A = this chain, B = another copy of it.
Amino acid sequence: MKYSIGIDFGGTNIAVGLVDENYTVAAKSSLPTGKGQRTTDEMVLDMAVLCRKVCDLAGIDLAEVASIGIATPGTVNSAKGIVIDYPGMGLSNYPMSAKLSDALNGYDSQKIRIANDANAAALGEAMAGAAKGADTALMITLGTGVGGGIILGGKIYDGFNFSAAELGHTVIVKDGHPCACGRKGCFEQYASATALIRMTKEEMQRSPDSAMWQYSPDLAQVNGKTAFESAKLGDEAAKRVVELYIGYLACGVANMMNIFQPEILCIGGGICGQGDNLLKPLSEIVFKEQYAKTAPRKTKLVIATLGNDAGIVGAAAL
């Protein structure tokens, strides 16, 4: 059996997995990232500790590991193993591959690859998850923001300057809700979990009798499930929120269909726990709106299956 290691360098945890050639996670371990409390060099030392630990757990030697991949937020030069820019961590041109190579006592830095985390998650789904086997796959992750990943010919597409696939930062409502990126009306402002929570709160304030108040007795407790779960009970206000949210989501998804017509378009993130309650009405609008209605083959619109492991698996597949 051939093994690779995938490292998910998250804002909260550093999660490391030993992944076999069938993309099964054979061993996994994590440590808190400690963002804001320590240097990135120290975090890389923990990556090294975790790499050794997952090897120990599986009873193999690090020297047997064919490659190591790191999924990190920010802009990344994969070929050079450098994090070009990760403002949240204050990183600029940080030679992460070389640093990890040192921390692992010279494990060949040529065998250590880096990718943006959203891109790595997309690759993970394309290699071993909901988009398995797809030559062209798109992944849209609905989380705090809206992340995007583009897989073409089985490889990450990151553009001329390693910054492509910011699918969440495409305006769908010109002059709409302000986005942290500086634009107004980004897809992210209408389709992220954050946006769903905002829409839920707004509707709750308009609807004091809504069942949503039972699910979340005060506004601070509202989460991505409040509207969906209350809608299942037949609450009209909650149904309005779900319909509004899915309408915006479908708008952005149909945009991506018209641009890419990928073999598989995969939706990820916590909201996907809603399964068919999300996918069915979403598909209905997307396939009604998308341009290639008469095309001989149709994109498959699916929900991601790897969950939190997508980053680890994708990193291991780099």
Interface residue ranges, A against B (CB under 8 Å): 75, 84-85, 87, 135-136, 148, 150, 152, 157-167, 169-174, 176, 181-183, 190, 247-248, 251, 254-255, 258-263, 288-289, 291-292, 294-299
Contact = CB atoms under 8 A, between A and B. Distances in A.
A183 B254 contact: yes
Nearest to A295: B161
15 contacts: A75-B292, A75-B294, A150-B259, A152-B152, A158-B261, A159-B262, A161-B292, A161-B297, A164-B258, A164-B259, A165-B259, A170-B258, A172-B172, A174-B247, A174-B248
A310 B174 CA distance: 31
A182 B290 CA distance: 9
A4 B288 CA distance: 41
B259 A170 contact: yes
Contact of A170 (B160, B170, B181, B292): B170
A162 B297 CA distance: 9
Main secondary structure of the interface of A (DSSP, over half): loop
Contact of A160 (B163, B248, B288, B297): B297
A84 B295 CA distance: 8
A302 to B, nearest CB: 14
Nearest to A75: B295
B172 A261 contact: no
A41 to B, nearest CB: 22
Contact of A298 (B161, B176, B181): B161
Contacts of A288: 182
Contacts of A248: 174
Contacts of A295: 75, 84-85, 161-163
Given A183-B254, A289-B182, A163 B261 contact: yes
Nearest to A134: B160
A296 B161 contact: yes
Contacts of A183: 254, 289
A172 B174 contact: yes
A49 to B, nearest CB: 31
